[in-house]
């Protein structure tokens, strides 16, 4: 048995989905920083991260292929300060979200220690394509002739064949 998720021969071309699932399973199980994902409209999504103590300069948002990555790194401002108790840790983080095909990042802003990232999920277009079935040529059993897209089945692209014999 293979380690592939979509091992069935009926799933053609799902390699990218399998890679996305693998990437999502490798993301950190650390719960920092906490976040919300909300639907803001029919096609709108918003990711909100609690980033109290971080400035805009401490944060970086990048889109790497279909992965949205948020990184935070606070500068060390403890010089000359003596802490009797330090319960607020200046820690760095990296939070990644795997985005579905077609999701667009519309913008980001900070408000009261919360980083908001707006996304748009366009509605997929319904596409119906009819595939023409052609009759096999006599004697050639489908080995010669041109397909519906002009590609020759006997290597003569775009050629018209007479009686399926290969003669022009």
Domains of the chain: 15-120 (2.60.40.790), 132-168 (no CATH)
Residue 148 and residue 140 in contact, taking contact as beta carbons nearer than 8 Å: no
Residue 50 and residue 34 in contact, taking contact as beta carbons nearer than 8 Å: yes
Tell me if the pTM is above 0.75.
Answer: no
| Per-residue pLDDT tens digits for 114-160 | 999 999 988 878 899 999 999 987 765 554 445 545 544 444 444 44
């Amino acid at each position: 048995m293979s380690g592939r998720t979509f091992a069935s021969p009926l799933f053609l071309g799902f390699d990218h989905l399998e890679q996305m699932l693998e990437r999502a399973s490798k993301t950190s199980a650390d719960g920092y920083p906490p976040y919300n994902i909300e639907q803001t409209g029919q096609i709108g999504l918003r990711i909100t991260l609690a980033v109290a103590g971080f400035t805009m300069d401490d944060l970086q948002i990048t889109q790497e292929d279909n992965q949205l990555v948020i990184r935070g790194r606070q500068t060390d401002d403890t010089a000359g300060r003596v802490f009797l108790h330090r319960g607020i840790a200046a820690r760095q983080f990296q939070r990644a979200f795997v985005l579905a095909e077609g999701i667009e990042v519309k913008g980001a802003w900070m408000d009261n220690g919360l980083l908001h990232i707006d996304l748009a999920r366009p509605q997929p277009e319904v596409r119906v394509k009819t595939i023409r079935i052609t009759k096999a040529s006599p004697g050639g059993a489908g080995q010669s002739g041109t397909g519906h897209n002009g590609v020759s089945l006997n290597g003569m692209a775009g050629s018209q064949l007479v009686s399926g014999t290969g003669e022009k």
